[in-house]
Amino acid sequence: MPVGQLTAVSGSRGVLYVPGATASGPVREGAAVAVVYLGGQTRIVECSSASTPEGFHGFAATAVADGDPVGIITIRGSLVTPILEGGGALTPGSALFLSGTSGELSHTPPVTGYVIRVGEAVSPSELSFNTDARVVRP
């Protein structure tokens, strides 16, 4: 059965707000984010293949400042406009991976750290969110 696609919205529908969790530093709209425990608090941070990849949960629905709640697009099949490492357009039909740059994605898997495939580009600006595999590289 194929995975359906949902257009994620910035309200509570289709977006997760972790109770009591706030941004640790500014978070960009479309950034890959992780839920982490810092200094006795649950925080949301931009993550990468080398920085808190094990806490990756999805993508920031909107840009927020340090200390603000972060809506996270977490639903498999959601259409997301992510941040591509180095800028530019996504290549439709290509897989996208958490990159070595915090909050950003790449068309090529990283050579160290976690390899997290986050989905496939469906247009030059959107991906279909689907995390099927995580691999740890030495």
CA–CA gap between residue 89 and residue 105 (Å, rounded): 12
Domain residue spans in the chain?
A: 6-137
pLDDT, tens digit (0-9, with 9 covering 90-100), for 35-49: 999 989 999 999 999
pLDDT at 27 over 60: yes
Task: Supply the DSSP symbol for 84.
Answer: B
The string over 33-55, giving b where at least 16 C-beta atoms fall within 10 Å of a residue's C-beta and e elsewhere, is bbbbeeeeeebbbbbbbebbbee
CA–CA gap between residue 132 and residue 129 (Å, rounded): 10
Residues pairing with 127 in the sheet = 80, 121
Q: For 100-107, what is the mean pLDDT?
A: 96
Strand pairing report for 71-73 and 15-17 = antiparallel
pLDDT, tens digit (0-9, with 9 covering 90-100), for 114-127: 899 999 999 999 99
pLDDT at 13 over 90: no
Residues pairing with 38 in the sheet = 41
pTM of the model: 0.86
pLDDT in the model for residue 81: 96
pLDDT, tens digit (0-9, with 9 covering 90-100), for 45-64: 999 999 999 999 999 999 99
Strand pairing report for 6-7 and 78-80 = parallel
Q: What counts of helices (H) and strands (E) characterise the chain?
A: 0, 13
